[in-house]
Structure 1
């Protein structure tokens, strides 16, 4: 039997030598193949990149290509090749650097990358600066509401939208490429420089300027009001169109990096947005905000409130929180000023010491207060936010003022309830003040006529304005009844002497002597009352006609019976009719028709004696009353 041969464990078999040699060979082959592939990749990238070398000499073959001012516009295929070359070069560099950081291939690739990035920077700047028309806020904002697929199906004549789409995609392609290549900062620097200037220029053309508090305080009100009006007309455009479009543009161009798109937008928009929302706060520091200026404060308050949802959406980044904080500060300061001015208005009404007006007409204080409240009712949204008032205040006034408003929705804590209570309170302050002025008249009938005229004016102003929605139909009905009550008391106190001068019951005949006595009493009382009331006035035509009809119905029919029954008998007895019967029934109708027009009363002669002049509101109310007969 043959014995097999076993080699020593320390000796190598031929097969193990072959395996080791084969593995080394394969490894060397792989290295050589990859290096060869990288060389080829770099050479291919070089052939493309060198064509667009901005620093090439005049004798270089790339000179022709460098004459292309806008590569992405004039030759989009070459632009795409350049971007692909940069991406391939970046991948090659990443592979080479793993093997050797000192490789000549890496140095060559790095130099090529510098050439390519310089060209891309130039292209990025050229597109941004040369395409402002196609990157205008309105185009960008409208584009955000629809996808590119939607736009493809739109009218092909919409050239601006199409070009805008191409420009946006070119900018995004360059930004994506530079960020991946590690040159995001260089790209952002160009973008911020260009787009920040766009925001600043747009705000300038909108009339938004940076002003200091001292500049605001020293301004004449006329100039500041112009700036307020301009701000009010511009702020919506600035936020919804300008800032919104910049956010859309920034998010799209730098979608490759969340960090870059957030910080980039913040650095572009923050300064301009702060200037925009600092202005309302500075207005609150104006040297003298008199009562009539309150409506500009509320205009500013309303404008910021109306834009708050958009601000929350556009400025949802931590880096832009300072802008929202400034906007909120402005809201708080505007609200504080509005509350203070409303309190000042109330105190001015309470402190008014002007005299009662001749003829029992509408007091300038009534016109001033109601015109002020009518304007105020147009700001019910703002007022509901700035007013926090307790209904317990109503208990502080006398019960004779007869007003206890309740919320129309049954919720005493609702904004509408707060507005109701505050406005009802201010009206109540006015009515109580008028009640005091009515006591200045020596004639009780004139006092009631004054109260009727002024309360009727208040009711008409409420009914014909937004106050109707805020105070409600129950409030109006209640005070209409109060007007009727005042008029009834006026009739009784002013004309009772005339009514009682005639017999209560004419069914039973009376003697001629008694009839003569009745006519004498009627003549004296009617002449006295008529002469006294000829200067009294009822400005509202409807109220005036109503009281004329009412008085006529109470006096003329009875007088007509007396006249017809005893006129003939007095003539037969030889009594001089002219000395006894001075008025025919039809004459009385004519006399009544001439009543309550009064003498012409100038509002300007009845000055406001409070802390602020109501000249603006007086002129407004005068023209209004002239056109409406009240």
Structure 2
């Protein structure tokens, strides 16, 4: 014990040889040198600079076995390099340096080969690595590929082939090859070269994909200078392309990046951001300059179409471009949404102002439906299809009017839309939109009241109001407006339209009804009968002549008006007519000159009015 203790304290002589390497250290160094030697054999075989066969042949030409051996050799070479620079290696410095130089030279050769293979796979599989195939093959791999590391890539591809088609199978194989190469290159410190190749080629795929979808890269100033007809075509093209671009093109690229660079999330994120950021920002920015074009009511529907599309795609935008590096894409999408909403509100305000400013003074012939009524109601019918979008757009912008709308404007039997003042207190988005539509209809009705005053005949003014209000009611009932305004609203306004028609009947036919004696069955002599029948003829002719061009536009209401006018005149006239015939029986042919209209003639004449397209029944003289 003392000897060993003393020996342990003795210092070595300066000229003594270094302590011998332990057997374990020698074995490790030997194994690493063997790894280098094995890697050299494999890498040299595929050195394109030294081997003509390697220059024209792919590692994957005969399956994946050779490629797998090559990648395994590179991984072993990497482990050897790590060993020789670590503290675990006790080999002489000269030996370690020589081994590292040799390994580094081989690694550079191997990386050149893998760069070439990576590039070739990306180029040769452009069609197979399209986003749709990528999505399909990834779904198949997730269900068909085994997690057992003992299975080869060939086994995985064959397993996937049982559930996917030929194109998807080829896509899955290419993705697996790219991933295997990327993992080895990144582990070897050559991730930058790998990423450079990947970004360059995949960025061109994304740009080409958008081009094939019909998207043209235009600056904001270029968009704003386009004629509306041309711009509308581009909007339609964008609307068709948007779902495919988000749910297939960009989503597929995200899936591919995530898969190929699964071993390094930061690299995958960086690749995806650099590949798609500019294209996605430009694509999702297209609606913004559209929203900034000169406003007109006709453009509102395309603005809302764009808003609908952006809103529908927002979940995909947030999911696909969720990284901090793609925040610019999300910001642009949000900016487009906000600009579209702003443009929609401004355009609808312009539409309301246009109704209020309409100053056409010419009366519509016959009291028919006014062009303004047709235009506004057709506009609102189309607008009602965008109820959900409008509710979102106006969620924070309640209608500001001096007084609440009349209760009669809403369906009390259903979920009654709240007044503008109550919508700010939680009345609900749907109720707020109902109020807004009701307000626009009220603006139109007020304008129509003013236009009715241009008619000189009061009866025709009422007929005009009846025609226009009934047209409005019909449009409401035939469209989604009935859900916004309610059936009770429609019923109340239909009753009001019928009331206007009743006023027309009363005023338009009052003189004719008054020309019939209060007691048509009372006895009268020939002279009295002659004068009274003459008075009726004059009143009836005057009414028919003045109303020759008047119309009742709605067929159902026209039938009701005909029946009502006939019931107002004919019962008394039939009795009066028979009494006059009896009184003038002895007057000879002269009686025919005054007893001109039989009750049937009167009926036919009434039913020949108020319809510009109706057949006018010729009048016949009544025989005495």
Given the two structures, how large is their TM-score scaled by the length of structure 2?
0.86
Paired with 1:94 and 1:480, the residues of 2 have a C-alpha distance of 89
8 Å Cα contact 1:71-1:79 kept in structure 2: yes
Q: CA deviation at 1:25?
A: 8.6
Partner of 2:155: none
Show structure 1 runs of 5+ residues with no match.
Answer: 1-6, 57-61, 601-630
CA deviations 1:37-66 (Å, max 9, x no partner) are 11111111111111111221xxxxx43333
CA deviations 1:578-622 (Å, max 9, x no partner) are 23211001111221222113499xxxxxxxxxxxxxxxxxxxxxx
Q: CA deviation at 1:381?
A: 2.4
Paired with 2:264 and 2:244, the residues of 1 have a C-alpha distance of 28
Partner of 1:326: 332
Partner of 2:593: 579
Paired with 1:32 and 1:217, the residues of 2 have a C-alpha distance of 76
Paired with 2:356 and 2:613, the residues of 1 have a C-alpha distance of 29
Paired with 1:201 and 1:33, the residues of 2 have a C-alpha distance of 55
| 1:129 aligns to 2:113 (yes or no) | no
Partner of 1:470: 484
Paired with 1:187 and 1:124, the residues of 2 have a C-alpha distance of 8
Paired with 1:410 and 1:440, the residues of 2 have a C-alpha distance of 34
Q: CA deviation at 1:329?
A: 0.6
CA deviations 1:519-549 (Å, max 9, x no partner) are 2332121111111001111222222222112
Question: Once superposed, what is the RMSD of the aligned Cα atoms?
Answer: 2.8
SS in 2 for 1:503: coil
SS in 2 for 1:133: coil
| 1:336 aligns to 2:342 (yes or no) | yes
Partner of 2:619: none
Partner of 1:67: 56
Match of 1:302 among 298, 304, 308: 308
Match of 1:82 among 70, 78, 82: 70
Paired with 1:35 and 1:236, the residues of 2 have a C-alpha distance of 58
Partner of 1:30: 24
8 Å Cα contact 2:521-2:579 kept in structure 1: no
SS in 2 for 1:135: coil
8 Å Cα contact 1:213-1:285 kept in structure 2: no
| 1:91 aligns to 2:97 (yes or no) | no
CA deviations 1:92-145 (Å, max 9, x no partner) are 211111146753112211111111111111100000011011111221223344
Match of 1:425 among 439, 455, 467: 439
CA deviations 1:166-194 (Å, max 9, x no partner) are 11111111111112222211111110001
Paired with 1:325 and 1:524, the residues of 2 have a C-alpha distance of 77
Partner of 2:221: 214
SS in 2 for 1:353: coil
Q: Which of structures 1 and 2 has the larger relative contact order (alpha carbons within 8 angstroms, sep 6+)? A: 1
Q: CA deviation at 1:220?
A: 2.2
Partner of 2:389: 382
Comparing 125-134 with 196-205, which one deviates more in the overlay?
Answer: 196-205
8 Å Cα contact 1:83-1:177 kept in structure 2: yes
Q: CA deviation at 1:572?
A: 3.7
CA deviations 1:464-511 (Å, max 9, x no partner) are 222222222122112111111111111111112212222344565555
Q: CA deviation at 1:147?
A: 4.1
Instruction: Summarize the alignment of residues 216-295 of structure 1 with structure 2, pairs less than 5 Å apart.
Output: 216-286=223-293, 288-295=294-301
SS in 2 for 1:395: coil
Paired with 1:409 and 1:180, the residues of 2 have a C-alpha distance of 67
Paired with 2:169 and 2:416, the residues of 1 have a C-alpha distance of 53
| 1:350 aligns to 2:356 (yes or no) | yes
Comparing 183-192 with 209-218, which one deviates more in the overlay?
Answer: 209-218
| 1:52 aligns to 2:40 (yes or no) | no
| 1:359 aligns to 2:373 (yes or no) | no
8 Å Cα contact 1:250-1:264 kept in structure 2: yes
8 Å Cα contact 1:394-1:404 kept in structure 2: no
8 Å Cα contact 1:51-1:66 kept in structure 2: no
Paired with 1:82 and 1:325, the residues of 2 have a C-alpha distance of 45
Distance 1:517 1:150, change over 3 A: farther
8 Å Cα contact 2:48-2:54 kept in structure 1: no
Partner of 1:620: none
Q: CA deviation at 1:402?
A: 6.2
CA deviations 1:223-258 (Å, max 9, x no partner) are 222222221221221111100100011001100011
Comparing 326-335 with 367-376, which one deviates more in the overlay?
Answer: 367-376
| 1:311 aligns to 2:311 (yes or no) | no
Comparing 465-474 with 75-84, which one deviates more in the overlay?
Answer: 465-474
Partner of 2:430: 416
Instruction: Summarize the alignment of residues 545-584 of structure 1 with structure 2, pairs less than 5 Å apart.
Output: 545-572=559-586, 576-584=590-598
Partner of 2:401: 393
Match of 2:168 among 149, 156, 161: 161
Paired with 2:53 and 2:163, the residues of 1 have a C-alpha distance of 34
| 1:107 aligns to 2:101 (yes or no) | yes
| 1:119 aligns to 2:108 (yes or no) | no
8 Å Cα contact 2:409-2:485 kept in structure 1: no
Paired with 1:227 and 1:571, the residues of 2 have a C-alpha distance of 81
Paired with 2:458 and 2:76, the residues of 1 have a C-alpha distance of 102
Q: CA deviation at 1:458?
A: 1.2
Q: What count of residue pairs does the alignment treat as equivalent?
A: 578
Paired with 1:541 and 1:155, the residues of 2 have a C-alpha distance of 66
Instruction: Summarize the alignment of residues 132-151 of structure 1 with structure 2, pairs less than 5 Å apart.
Output: 132-150=126-144
SS in 1 for 2:85: helix
CA deviations 1:140-163 (Å, max 9, x no partner) are 223344444459477678211111
Match of 2:609 among 589, 595, 618: 595
CA deviations 1:373-431 (Å, max 9, x no partner) are 1221222222222235545627278x7x9646778366643221122111111111011
Paired with 1:533 and 1:572, the residues of 2 have a C-alpha distance of 35
Distance 1:12 1:214, change over 3 A: closer
Match of 2:181 among 174, 186, 201: 174
Comparing 415-424 with 91-100, which one deviates more in the overlay?
Answer: 91-100
8 Å Cα contact 2:138-2:172 kept in structure 1: no
Q: CA deviation at 1:327?
A: 0.9
8 Å Cα contact 2:533-2:580 kept in structure 1: no
Partner of 1:186: 193
SS in 2 for 1:538: coil
